[in-house]
Structure 1
Amino acid sequence: MKIINYALFFLFVVFAIIQLNDPDGILWFSIYFLVALIHLISNFKAISKFILISVIIGLLIYSAFHFSLFIEYMQTENKEEIFGEMVYKKPYLEGTREFLGLFIAAFSVLYQLKKTSKP
């Protein structure tokens, strides 16, 4: 389990660093780095279920603000655009990336919650 936590820590640190070139990079760095710290700290100390649930709820609520952009993206024909550069005429691309990033982060924290719940 510790190896998985270290891998998730490393992954979310990379996600956080990549965000620093965005106009709102500090926000996204903070979100991903918080998730990274949860995975690191859980190797040494149990994190309160209340904190984990609060983080999950916060991530899911924030992702809900991007849900309409995700739906708009799902209705497009060219799905490969998600891997390209940001196009200002297509804000649904960045919104979809943010939605998916928040969703991935929430599920990784959910993994910690499930691990904490086991006897």
Structure 2
Amino acid sequence: DGTLYLDLEGNPEANYDDADVEDMARIFTGWFMSNSSMNAPMEANDAYHDMESKEVLGESFPAGVGAEQELEHVLDVLVKHPNTAPNISTLLIKRFVTSNPTPAYVERVSSVFKQTDGDLAAV
């Protein structure tokens, strides 16, 4: 429901560490603007992609995988992460409905996110 997970001293628990951030950055290597227009989709060039193994949020990314396939994999990992649904749901509710949603409201919206694998139209 978006409530923070706290350790025994009452401090918020970390969801990721520096290694997650570093390997996430490595996943996004090899992507370039296809032309000078900011409206065009980016294109992958595996010659510039880090093809070594990586690990993000406990999920392994094997060596030798191209940029497009790794992008699909990491997006799946992020959509299924337990913090994604409540985080996105809270932000959507705050922007479009109310600035102080109840945990029950966040949970209802989060459940739709989870059931639809992040289909924002359904959310």
Q: Normalization by structure 2: what TM-score?
A: 0.28
User: Per chain length, whose mean CA-contact separation is higher, i.e. which structure has more relative contact order (CA < 8 Å, sep 6+)?
Assistant: 1
More helix by share: 1
More strand by share: 2
Larger radius of gyration: 2
Q: Normalization by structure 1: what TM-score?
A: 0.29
